[in-house]
A and B are shown apart, each in its own frame.
Chain A
Amino acid sequence: MTRRVLPGFGLSLSFTLTYLTLLVFLPLLACVAQVVSLTWSEFWSAAWTVRAQSAYALTFGASLIAAMIDVVLGLLIAWVLVRYEFPFKRFFDSLIDLPFALPTSVAGLVYSSLYVQSGWLGQFLVPLGIEAVYTRLAIVLMLVFIGLPFVVRTIQPVLESLEGETEEAAALLGATRLQTFLRVIFPALLPAIITGFALAFARAIGEYGSVVFVSGNIPMQTEIAPVLIVARLEEGQYAEATSVATILLVGSFSMLVFINLLERWSKRHYA
């Protein structure tokens, strides 16, 4: 309130609010209005069909598994990028961001063709019984790709800012390198790991463009919730589509709230 020296408060704030209202709140309101116009049983029978339940389970389950894999891989990659020097390090470091920049449909297209039996990687994996296209495994693999940079990029700066002295202190107190990692480094990284996990998870829940290429989209088997929404829409069943979308929205919003609470908690604890 004290800093109203600068002009443009009214203009910038009203533009911001108008823009958000037209682009975000109004569409959200449309969605809510559509759902509210349904009776509870109408909503429930649309949102909770067997096919939908299987789609939610797959969406949330595959996202969860993928985010957990991302945490393991992301932690390892962040560690290597921060702590070690090796040839082409900067090149690999920059590549991490590719899933952010690469259109999801391109990712889906490439993955589907890499892992088919005649593909570059599929020719080795399929004989081993690893079928990474048109299966649930394919969905998880795709979501691992999509979520990886979220984890790496949240852990990396925290790992960089860790004081070397705390590790020296642990060593002087007699801890082995592994004990130092498990008891000193890992707990310090935990808030970043959880944030990265949540970001990767939230992103995976909404992912459509890449998964649609690799999953095969078989109802009850490899159909994720966004694909079901599109299928309902294409059938012209708006109410059903909106009901499924509502469940999906609630899922991702609770993730968002969770992330915020978590960040607040970790700030209080570790600042």
Chain B
Amino acid sequence: MLRQTSEQFSEQVNLQDFAMSISIQNISKTFGNFKALDNVSLHVPNGSLVALLGPSGSGKTTLLRIIAGLESAESGNVEYHGEDVTHRAAGERNVGFVFQHYALFRHMNVFENIAFGMRVRKRAKEEITKRVRELLSLVRLENLERRYPSQLSGGQRQRVALARALAIEPKVLLLDEPFGALDAKVRQELRQWLRRLHDEIHTTSVFVTHDQEEAFEVADEVVVMNKGRIEQVGSPQEVFDHPANTFVMDFLGNVNVFHGRVQAGFAHLGSLALDYPEYPHDQSSPAVVYMRPHELDIERLSNGRPHLAAEIVRIQAAGAVARIGLQTAGDNLAIQVDLSASRFAELGLKNGEKVFIAPKRVRVFVDRSPEYVI
């Protein structure tokens, strides 16, 4: 239901011109010898919720801090809705920023924390009280306004930090690993909550995460980063289904990776030969073959389709997905296959059984660019 409203909303956004967007052009940043960002450009559309996804050291937090004005870039521009803010101080950019460890003011209670931004702007007392109350109800902390940060749980602190950031009516909301410091259950709840909140307030938001599941669940658009560069930008579906390169493929979840060869219109992986017309040359070239566990099927009989003969070595059937560990005959490659519970029940697989693995979808990368077969 909520998911649906968000989709409607993002369609509205696409119709508008990008008046509240963030635009980053050719940003570079080095720390000593370390190149944190290497000529990065990115456009964040108005009202969208974008995830910067990447491993640690990929430059995602640095990029977020440059957008906020907490860090300055060596070259390039940052624009908010077409206005160049590259040389504007952080305090004048009117951004909401949620720090990974919240950075709440320890000596101020919840109310005072949220009111801080308005107090330093010398807003009227009644206005402040009214706005803080609104925000407290928005983040569902109505009864805790007199508490100090030390008296709150991690999830509550997180929401105070968010309310504090929203209090100054920011043009953009930036969140650095917003769920990083929370335990698994709270993290799950807060993710959904943040998504719903965004659908309510529509503020253009960017958050940093290293967790692809989190990015996919919360964001409209995912920016995959690695080594100071942007590898791919797209909706979760696009990025997952059509990874631009091996890094994206590798980083986004579980995958079986094999080193094979391409030659004369075929890709070879052990006994498996797949059509690969994109490589017609006679000279063989190394290639990387990716198979997602859920894009593989297990069959008892080889019915003419390309397959790998394998033996089941491990079955873990608890949960919605049955994870089957197999070893291929001949070259002893370890492969993981995820079957739906119903498919698993239908097959009635046993440990030690000899079966055939039929790929539904395989990705072959030669020189990092993906080509699809099947």
Chain A in direct contact with chain B (Cβ < 8 angstroms): yes
A174 and B91 contact, Cβ closer than 8 Å, known pairs A179-B120, A188-B106, A270-B107:
yes
In the complex, chain A residues whose CB is within 8 Å of the CB of B162: none
**A176 contacts the other chain (Cβ, under 8 Å)?**
yes
A174 touches B117 (CB 8 A): yes
Identify which of A174, A176, A270 contacts B106 (C-beta below 8 A): A270
**A160 contacts the other chain (Cβ, under 8 Å)?**
no
B106 touches A168 (CB 8 A): no
A166 and B104 contact, Cβ closer than 8 Å, known pairs A175-B91, A270-B150:
yes
**B157 contacts the other chain (Cβ, under 8 Å)?**
no
Identify which of A163, A169, A190 contacts B107 (C-beta below 8 A): A190
**B97 contacts the other chain (Cβ, under 8 Å)?**
yes
**A173 contacts the other chain (Cβ, under 8 Å)?**
yes
**A170 contacts the other chain (Cβ, under 8 Å)?**
yes
In the complex the two chains form, what is the Cα distance from A150 to B170 in whole Å?
44
User: How far does the Cβ of B234 sit from chain A's closest Cβ, in whole Å?
Assistant: 29
Instruction: Describe B's contact surface by its main secondary structure.
Output: loop
**A65 contacts the other chain (Cβ, under 8 Å)?**
no
Instruction: Give the residues from 217 to 271 in chain A that come closer than 8 angstroms, CB to CB, to chain B.
Output: 269-271
A169 touches B97 (CB 8 A): yes
B107 touches A173 (CB 8 A): no
In the complex the two chains form, what is the Cα distance from A187 to B107 in whole Å?
7
B168 touches A174 (CB 8 A): yes
In the complex, chain A residues whose CB is within 8 Å of the CB of B268: none
User: How far does the Cβ of A91 sit from chain B's closest Cβ, in whole Å?
Assistant: 28
A175 touches B97 (CB 8 A): no
In the complex, chain B residues whose CB is within 8 Å of the CB of A187: 105, 107-108
Chain B count of residues within 8 A CB distance of the other chain:
31
**A85 contacts the other chain (Cβ, under 8 Å)?**
no
CB closest chain-B residue, reference A180:
B120
Interface string of A169-191 (1 = CB under 8 A from B): 11111111001000110011010
B148 touches A171 (CB 8 A): no
A163 touches B91 (CB 8 A): no
B90 touches A171 (CB 8 A): yes
In the complex the two chains form, what is the Cα distance from A176 to B168 in whole Å?
15
B120 touches A172 (CB 8 A): no
In the complex the two chains form, what is the Cα distance from A165 to B93 in whole Å?
17
Chain A count of residues within 8 A CB distance of the other chain:
21
In the complex the two chains form, what is the Cα distance from A56 to B238 in whole Å?
81
B107 touches A168 (CB 8 A): no
In the complex, chain A residues whose CB is within 8 Å of the CB of B99: 165, 168-169
In the complex the two chains form, what is the Cα distance from A190 to B148 in whole Å?
16
**B103 contacts the other chain (Cβ, under 8 Å)?**
yes
A183 and B95 contact, Cβ closer than 8 Å, known pairs A269-B148, A270-B106, A270-B150:
no
CB closest chain-A residue, reference B174:
A172
B150 touches A183 (CB 8 A): no
In the complex the two chains form, what is the Cα distance from A187 to B106 in whole Å?
9
B90 touches A168 (CB 8 A): yes
Interface string of B125-159 (1 = CB under 8 A from A): 00000000000000000000000101000000000
A188 and B95 contact, Cβ closer than 8 Å, known pairs A172-B90, A173-B116:
no
CB closest chain-B residue, reference A191:
B107
A172 touches B107 (CB 8 A): no
User: How far does the Cβ of B31 sit from chain A's closest Cβ, in whole Å?
Assistant: 15
**B186 contacts the other chain (Cβ, under 8 Å)?**
no
Identify which of A166, A168, A173 contacts B168 (C-beta below 8 A): A173
In the complex, chain A residues whose CB is within 8 Å of the CB of B106: 166, 188, 270
B97 touches A174 (CB 8 A): no
Instruction: Give the residues from 44 to 66 in chain A that come closer than 8 angstroms, CB to CB, to chain B.
Output: none
In the complex the two chains form, what is the Cα distance from A166 to B167 in whole Å?
16
A171 touches B91 (CB 8 A): yes
User: How far does the Cβ of B90 sit from chain A's closest Cβ, in whole Å?
Assistant: 5
User: How far does the Cβ of B281 sit from chain A's closest Cβ, in whole Å?
Assistant: 55
Residues of chain A at the chain B interface (Cβ within 8 Å): 163, 165-166, 168-176, 179, 183-184, 187-188, 190, 269-271
Known: A169-B164, A188-B106. 15 other contacts (CB 8 A): A163-B101, A165-B99, A166-B104, A168-B97, A168-B99, A171-B89, A171-B90, A172-B91, A173-B117, A173-B120, A173-B165, A173-B167, A174-B117, A176-B91, A270-B150
28 pairs across A/B with beta carbons < 8 Å? A163-B103, A165-B103, A166-B105, A168-B70, A168-B99, A168-B103, A169-B103, A169-B105, A171-B89, A171-B91, A172-B69, A172-B70, A172-B90, A172-B91, A172-B95, A173-B117, A173-B167, A174-B94, A174-B120, A174-B121, A174-B168, A175-B116, A175-B117, A175-B120, A187-B107, A188-B105, A269-B107, A269-B148
